[in-house]
Chains A and B, each alone.
Chain A
């Protein structure tokens, strides 16, 4: 460093190194300045004055209020993921009243944004299940939904008291929907309950039914009551009666409608898997969707074999043992995968 021997008090007080030493006396400049101060009584005197000068400069400290701090943070969160939202900007020449008006409209805009944003994300309730998990969900209208493995059900937390009740589903669920009377609004009667799926809507009043939406395809099985399916792409409406099963492929072009034993399709909620004349390929798909296994069947011809039987949903071994004995196959299972393979003739 330079020789500060001839420096004045104000030069010292303006020196970056000296300021740092005053702020942090134990810092890296300590040795240098201590030596300098000890060189002469004049130096010591100058240093004392300069220190005093520096430490006498005080500024009022204004702390931000907790509310303001939170308010700004919330605004940042709103805007940070939506680049199209303009920051509040102020036009020139605005009076306080004008500003208040602008502030009010910004506030209204933010509230609107909040409500809109709220509808899209945070005010949603969501229930979801992991692979191999089953969960019972009670909706605000006290309808009950049983969610099968690997499924998500969403609904709005602030459901209105009239009009339709709505839920959104991916995966598989069994619905037990209450009949609820309209308590307000123009139309008397019951409030419809609507299940939104990727490729259709199911409208009911009060019924029990099972819905599966996997791999773009949807299957609805009606146990009791009456439901109406709407396919938006083809504007087709299908009325279902108890015991009906409707299967719709993703593109909504292929629709099958037939009678089945409905309890077989919702047996999973009693922790049972019931297969009724289903192909091994269909069973493999079911295991993949609900248990996260990768299932291999060899050879391909085996995939078309059909199987009937029931098994506890949490004890797949039972299923595998009966598969092994019915089709003369080996079922090899590890954490991730299941291989169903025809036994060699020699093993017979």
Chain B
């Protein structure tokens, strides 16, 4: 993946439209999914995806100085999306979903022991809702998109130390639960202004 990105980066820097289309195919899903964790306003996500790839293309001469394409794409994307959300001033609701693993076994368990399951779900929901939005986003970047701390810090415009603390605090909270179920978290940002991001 990383080596492939290196090749793509150089090809795009030399003006290859083909490499550019590969980059798009490679990352459009990742960006969309990331955006969708933050907001359900897909038109804003689409605008930001567009902006990010135009930024890449228009600045392709400087692409070779970028260390990680993935981190760069996500950083630009997040900045653009935050900006779009802010200008839209649309407050999306914080929403936490906790679901049981959708295997046959867990469905069976739900039926047999629905009271216990829902009780546990409730506890999970409670714990997760105590996580801040930033904590949830950090978990997403670190555990879902497998970014390094360094890259995730850049994407979220935080220091690596702050980022580590966010993860650690989140893990401490979650540990208190013995998790037989899978936690599904979808974090919507209550308000982008809370992020205190300056543009």
Contact = CB atoms under 8 A, between A and B. Distances in A.
Interface of A: 9-11, 13-14, 16, 19-20, 23, 49, 52-54, 56-64, 68-69, 71-73, 75-76, 79-80, 83, 87-94, 99, 103
B172 interface: yes
A54 B142 CA distance: 10
Interface string B89-114: 10000000100000000000000000
Nearest to B88: A90
**Chain B interface residue count: which class?**
35 or more
Contact of A56 (B54, B181, B186): B181
A59 B140 contact: yes
B32 A56 contact: no
B54 A10 contact: no
A197 to B, nearest CB: 32
B148 interface: yes
Contacts, number: 114
A200 to B, nearest CB: 36
A204 to B, nearest CB: 40
A52 B179 contact: yes
Interface stretch (B3-11, B41-49, B66-74, B190-198): B41-49
Given A49-B175, A71-B46, A103-B43, 20 more contacts: A19-B142, A54-B143, A56-B179, A56-B181, A58-B185, A59-B140, A59-B184, A59-B186, A61-B33, A68-B46, A72-B49, A75-B50, A76-B24, A79-B50, A83-B58, A87-B50, A90-B84, A90-B88, A93-B89, A99-B88
A53 B89 contact: no
Contact of A57 (B33, B43, B50, B185): B185
Contacts of B33: 61-64
A14 B168 contact: yes
A53 B171 CA distance: 8
Contacts of B32: 62-64, 68
Contacts of A10: 168, 171-172, 175
Interface in B150-199: 164, 167-168, 171-172, 174-175, 179, 181-186
B53 interface: yes
Given A57-B185, A58-B183, A16 B143 contact: no
Given A13-B175, A57-B183, A72 B143 contact: no
B186 A60 contact: yes
A68 B42 contact: yes
A76 B54 contact: yes
Nearest to B128: A57
B123 to A, nearest CB: 13
Nearest to A106: B47
Contact of B87 (A11, A63, A87, A92): A92
A59, A63, A88, A91: residue with the most chain B Cβ atoms closer than 10 Å: A59
Nearest to B171: A10
A11 B164 CA distance: 10
Interface string B120-163: 00000000000000000001101110101100000000000000
Contact of A60 (B88, B97, B143, B175): B97
23 contacts: A11-B171, A19-B143, A53-B179, A56-B183, A57-B174, A57-B183, A58-B182, A59-B185, A61-B33, A62-B32, A62-B36, A63-B33, A72-B49, A73-B21, A76-B57, A79-B54, A88-B47, A89-B87, A90-B84, A90-B87, A94-B88, A99-B88, A103-B43
Contacts of A68: 32, 42, 46
A51 to B, nearest CB: 11
A53 B175 contact: yes
Nearest to B164: A14
A16 B148 contact: yes
A87 B44 CA distance: 12
A58 B89 CA distance: 29
Given A19-B142, A49-B175, A58-B185, A87 B54 contact: yes
A83 B55 CA distance: 11
B64 interface: no
Contact of B54 (A53, A64, A80, A93): A80
B184 to A, nearest CB: 5
Given A57-B139, A59-B185, A94-B88, A64 B179 contact: no
